[in-house]
Amino acid sequence: GTPVSYTEEAAAQSNKGSSANNSAAIKPTSTNNAKKNEPKPSLYNNNNNTTLNQSLTAGLTHPISSLSPYQNKWVIKARVTAKGPMRTWSNAKGEGKLFSMDLMDESGEIRATAFREQAEKFYDIIEVDRVYYISKCQLKPANKQFTTLKNDYEMTLTGETQIQACEEDDND
């Protein structure tokens, strides 16, 4: 069919003629369908440090003793009390590097371990006796074979993990 602008004449013709040809001509077409399917920008993007920094400056930290695998939106403020050497491992699942560190706050302590890329990324950044804000680690039941800390859980650093030095508490 030939496109026709909608007028009273076109409406009269659509009543007389074949509705298949003319109804397409008088229906408004939408050119905005592509925009409906585009993802909207998120204010809580995992790659955006703004929300982490806002929670840090607002003092919205969680005590280590309150952490569990059933919640994942937390930030802890903890002192590194021990940091192990970078080690290599090899087993049936593969091989790589790892290091562990012990973290402590007023409420308790927890072991955190970094594997592979995270071990490389964070090893030189972390210093014993410094205080850090840490978020977005995986929590799982502690393997008592590798830790003597009094915590039922341990942390594994992931690609999402964020660690930021807390400058004002380093000299306590």
> Which CATH number do you get for residue 153?
2.40.50.140
Total number of domains constituting the chain: 1
Is 101 part of a structural domain of the chain? yes
Encoded amino acid at 151, one letter: N
Position 60 scores a pLDDT of: 82
**β-strand partners of 154:** 140
CA 49 to chain centre: 10
Share of the chain above pLDDT 90, in %: 54
Q: What is the pTM of this model?
A: 0.65
Ranking 5-14, 20-29, 37-46, 153-162 by mean pLDDT, the lowest is 37-46
Rounded CA gap, 165 and 144, in Å?
28
Structure tokens at 1: 């069919």
Q: Is residue 14 within a helix (H) or strand (E), and if so which, with residue range?
A: helix 8-16
Is 105 part of a structural domain of the chain? yes
Rounded CA gap, 142 and 151, in Å?
7
Band the pLDDT of 16: cuts 50, 70, 90. low
* pLDDT, average across residues 125-138: 97
Band the pLDDT of 3: cuts 50, 70, 90. confident
Radius of gyration of the chain (CA): 29
Q: Under DSSP, is residue 104 helix (H, G, I), strand (E, B) or coil? A: strand
The whole domain housing 67 covers 61-169
